[in-house]
Structure 1
């Protein structure tokens, strides 16, 4: 069980809830902020901009409501200090799990970022920083409720590895959010090696729950698929993905792995991800490639790390992926 969030009562000074300790700016314009919490724990968030004015929608005649693109200014927030999921490819999972964040601490990351960066246009928020949002679901739902009433917030998304039955609770209690489901493999054998959580949340059950979300809210779900050289990037994987995902409910977001020292993976070449995308599209599955952000400041997906990596977790990652890589 994760350490519980310290609940706050009475008026809260957001400037004290999360204090910026350090900021780093990437060559692509992204900004990573290291925040110190009131108890000394630390988390990171990332602020970046995607092309477009934030109002772009992708029309699709097969669903009632078009999927909404997270364009314009985006803040990627953390929901936990550390992470217990221990994905083999993720820097955050190499460090100790300290505690869940409160809703107020999550919201403060967004509002304080907007103040520090003097943002005037609405911000899109995605719960995709440190931690697994569905393992801190009560506080994440409270944060969503608070952010929905904030005029500075345009839209909210939740990115998850998939936790049951929490995913069904999200479906019931957060109808306004968009869902990103991190899949990263097309068989349970490979996914369990990459994501130990898969043992209790296998692919077929996750996709059924995700379809329930899509049908309930009339929006497609973005399936995040992180390509690893020699692990999940061949034509057979693409064909299995086409078979797994119903294009009425899913589209695919392809990601390239961001280097984490000591882990047994390598980044695929650009032509590999383009070939993979083209095969999915030819098979009728809507697919786009998400550009890596903030790699040069260790702010990309899977790179957030505020404490020394745990050696035993690095060793487990290497052992789990043999002989795949």
Structure 2
């Protein structure tokens, strides 16, 4: 079909017993003035040559019994009025050749059993006024060839039970949360790009595997690994309320204007970089602020 336009004045319910294959040669536009409930008992395959625009005034709920494959040749825009709930029992492979703009006014819950591969050729702008929760039972590989801006009004949770988290951003990557920010992986964590994270509540990175690797655009690496002293506890970095963390030129800097008073780093061994020197500098600066106050 050349274009696909769906306008629903009330609720939209969709149930497919087998695989859905959809090819749109131009733009796909969906406007629903209620909630969307879609059930796919097998896989879902979508190929859209132009743009995709979704506007749902209430909830979106999608359950896929197999794999999800999405290929959008241009931009993807999604606006959800309240909650978005996606469950996939297979792998998820999404390729978007343009930009992604997503806006949610309430909670986002995403559960995936298989591998997640997410490639965006331009920028990502994601804004959620409530909670964001990604729970994956496989690995997550995310590549964004542009600016990545994530803003969450409450808690921001990323948890992988069965594999790695790999996030690559070729331009600055910014994550902001008014609640808790958490990255947790049963294997390795890998971040590459100019990364800044602001969490106005506790910010936490937990690793059950061997190594956290953070690489900035100067191609200098910081490795945070399990201690070789026989300690079996999970490597965890905790930041206090109001702490701002930015990776700049292979070092960590604190934005002292947010009023952080403590940085707690436990059981890490540094292989490369000047992490410890940066931490000591931050502690000295924070101590000076406490004295002035």
Normalising by structure 1, report the TM-score. 0.27
Larger strand proportion of the pair: 2
Q: Which of the two has higher C-alpha Rg?
A: 2
Q: Which has the bigger relative contact order, CA under 8 A and spacing at least 6?
A: 1
